[in-house]
Structure 1
């Protein structure tokens, strides 16, 4: 049995930093965690990827090809689609086996972090994220998705609601065990931490009250906010 985390989150949320420090923590505990980079637009990270999608395709390949001419977002989607279409490459890199042969034995100590692109629509409603998860499951991986959000983004009521709904969309779309992680908490002031703690309280009324008083839109759409708050509470 193999184990994997699919590390997801908006650009700048700290996915690569998370992977780096998880790997270092494992090394300090005399354990091995490998990191796979699946971001074709990545330029720099502090870990050494065991597998790198850029060895298969890079974002520039999709953007500069005379026939494709994709923009950055379309190029990322194309690169992930290309990876899924060339799944034998990924399988051979992960498993070190002939992709045409069935696996006879599975190492029981593989723990791999998949560092994903920051385009979260790949996982909220497009199909590539789901297909990748299904592929890994078929290769005997037990998977948990880890959704990272910058805590500085979440101290505003409306943005907290938006980030929470994005996390819920990922969880519902991928149908995997799911953990949400607030990053960069050390950068918050004491007052910002108190505000965030108020939103994280099991009672969603504090958040709804803030939304209702922040703007005319919030006041006129209070019932919608209440319905969304109830939905979030049901999935806590």
Structure 2
């Protein structure tokens, strides 16, 4: 089996739009792509879906029959997926060629890929089918225009990296909606830690200075801060490139 992306990110970060752009890019290249949707609440797509979790279980049914809320319902659906998709998934993967490109679009509940085990176990199951995975973590660039949101985004991405244990690429989405591009430019490449710390201390109360220092040191010392702005076809080509399989970024 060839390569696969596991697309994660908060609700509204642009995962469906990203998958749509990725699909059109692969079609233009003449490359076979299969998108698997793991969101039990999603219904409408502007690209073909190879497999959909709603064929197995839907969020609406779970909420109605079990009386669960949206978050509890998503967790139940992921647990059900983990327990019941073995045979169907193996059969589907056997139909794909070695150079087919797979994309798994995940739900937007951050806890599903930050500290709960279901999607991690799902990825491990796919690895046993010789699928070469990497994670694409999307962040809405409109919310990464100051240091506090930037560090929060880094921590969320690091949490997903630790939980999923996959090569990891971060992408800023919705760049075209940012009114002042210079606001986000400071957070694309690994920034200098001292200005970040000074800015954090300006935003936060004095009692958080030690915490701010620890967070900035974590971001800086592990050299995992790197964001790719999704602005043109070359960005998608970079994410699909073989270098992403060994590139880890937060």
Aligned to 1:43: 43
Indicate conservation of the 8 Å contact 1:23/1:32, yes or no: no
C-alpha distance after superposition, 1:145-196 (max 9, x if no partner): 0000000011122111111100001011111110000001111123xx2222
Deviation at 1:26, TM superposition (A): 0.8
Deviates more, 1:27-36 or 1:194-203: 194-203
The structure that has the greater radius of gyration is 1
Distance in 1 separating the partners of 2:23 and 2:12: 19
Distance in 1 separating the partners of 2:11 and 2:45: 14
Indicate conservation of the 8 Å contact 1:199/1:207, yes or no: no
Where does the alignment leave 5 or more consecutive residues of structure 1 unmatched?
A: 97-105
Where does the alignment leave 5 or more consecutive residues of structure 2 unmatched?
A: 225-250
Aligned to 2:91: 92
Indicate conservation of the 8 Å contact 1:38/1:114, yes or no: yes
Aligned to 1:207: 196
In the alignment, structure 1 residue 232 sits paired with structure 2 residue 219:
yes
Aligned to 2:64: 64
Distance in 2 separating the partners of 1:113 and 1:177: 15
CA 1:138 to 1:130, structure 2 compared with 1: closer, same or farther past 3 Å? same
Residue in structure 2 matching 1:118, options 108, 117, 131: 108
Distance in 2 separating the partners of 1:177 and 1:77: 24
Instruction: With the length of structure 2 as denominator, give the TM-score of the two structures.
Output: 0.84
Distance in 1 separating the partners of 2:108 and 2:210: 32
Indicate conservation of the 8 Å contact 2:40/2:59, yes or no: yes
C-alpha distance after superposition, 1:117-154 (max 9, x if no partner): 00121111100121011011011100000000000011
In the alignment, structure 1 residue 138 sits paired with structure 2 residue 151:
no
Indicate conservation of the 8 Å contact 1:199/1:206, yes or no: no
Instruction: With the length of structure 1 as denominator, give the TM-score of the two structures.
Output: 0.89
Q: How does 1:146-161 map to 2 (within 5 A)?
A: 146-161=136-151
Distance in 2 separating the partners of 1:163 and 1:148: 10
Deviates more, 1:109-118 or 1:199-208: 199-208
Aligned to 1:162: 152
Aligned to 1:76: 74
Q: CA RMSD in A?
A: 1.5
Deviation at 1:33, TM superposition (A): 1.2
Deviation at 1:208, TM superposition (A): 2.0
Distance in 2 separating the partners of 1:143 and 1:160: 26
Deviation at 1:92, TM superposition (A): 2.4
In the alignment, structure 1 residue 187 sits paired with structure 2 residue 177:
yes
Aligned to 2:210: 223
Distance in 2 separating the partners of 1:4 and 1:12: 22
Deviates more, 1:18-27 or 1:201-210: 201-210
Distance in 1 separating the partners of 2:142 and 2:173: 8
Distance in 1 separating the partners of 2:193 and 2:176: 24
**Would you say how many aligned residue pairs link Structure 1 and Structure 2?**
221
Distance in 1 separating the partners of 2:111 and 2:147: 22
Aligned to 1:176: 166
